[in-house]
Amino acid sequence: MPVAPAIKAQAATKTIVFDATAPLYWSEACKHLMKKDRVMKRLIPQFGQACLQSRGDAFATLARSVVGQQISVKAAQTVWDRFAKLPEQICPSQVLKLKIDDMRAAGLSVRKVEYLVDLALHFDNGAVHEDAWGAMDDEAIIDELVAIRGIGRWTAEMFLIFHLMRPNVLPLDDVGLINGISKSYFSGDVVSRSDAREVALAWAPYRTVATWYIWRSLDPVPVEY
């Protein structure tokens, strides 16, 4: 995903300056959202230069998501650090050479070992078309990823947001998004997926950006995957 040099977006009373790691669309998205949505007009200026960030390559990003499933962030980091020491590098061919006992000793469950092996096989045998993702739409990439054991729709959507930095992803299975919409738009009342989808109509074509700011309204520290 291309990035822009220092990008500027006009807020209500000040200029927000995004650095060179900001997605190319971020400035325009902020302008659009602040114009179209009263909550975004209030939220976006609160977080200054902070913006969506991406790290790592595709395989490592998905492997991290598998390792971190259903355990705390702290525990996930501990297990990942142990696992990452096993191969010469985190890549499909190296992971496929690992011994199951060594992976289990790093703290991985039997199921997660199976998931990581399946993930490595999909990348190694070309079942995922990483080189073609740039020309594929979001749903096509999601369909490709959920064919891998251990990768569900939510994980695929997080991958679209945090790795590919696609601008218009709306992860309706994300508890944080639903809770944030409840808090910011419905005074804390219970929100359905339909309610959330209706709120997000004003966010298109930058639903990723609005989702990111909703997350920030609950936790000011940006999350990276």
pLDDT in tens, 18-55: 655 789 999 999 999 999 999 999 999 999 888 998 77
94-146 residue pLDDT tens:
999 999 999 999 999 999 999 999 999 999 999 999 999 999 999 999 999 99
* Nearest partner of 159 among 183, 122, 130, 185, judged by Cα: 130
Cβ atoms < 10 Å from Cβ of 134? 9
Going by C-alpha positions, the residue among 137, 153, 91 that lies closest to residue 116 is: 91
Task: Extract the tokens encoding 164.
Answer: 């590919």
pLDDT at 222 over 80: no
Q: Is the pLDDT of residue 7 over 80?
A: no
pLDDT at position 186, please?
A: 96
The beta-strand segments (E) located in the chain are: 7-10, 15-18
Sequence-distant (6+) residues with CB within 8 A of 180 are: 214, 215, 217, 218
What average pLDDT does the chain have? 88
What's phi and psi for 208, nearest 5 deg? -60, -45
Residue 215 CA to residue 225 CA, distance in Å, equals: 14
Peptide bond into 205 cis (omega under 30): yes
Q: Which of 60-74, 116-130, 174-188 has the lowest mean pLDDT?
A: 60-74
Share of the chain above pLDDT 90, in %: 71
3-state secondary structure 43-106: HHHHHCCCCCCCCCCHHHHHHHHHHCCCCCHHHHHHHHHHHHCCCCCCCHHHHCCCCHHHHHHC
Could you give the C-alpha distances from 22 to 30, 47, 49, 65, in angstroms and in order? 12, 14, 9, 23
CB 120 within 8 A of CB 92: yes
Q: How close are the terminal C-alpha atoms of the chain, in Å?
A: 16
Mean predicted confidence (pLDDT) in 172-186: 94
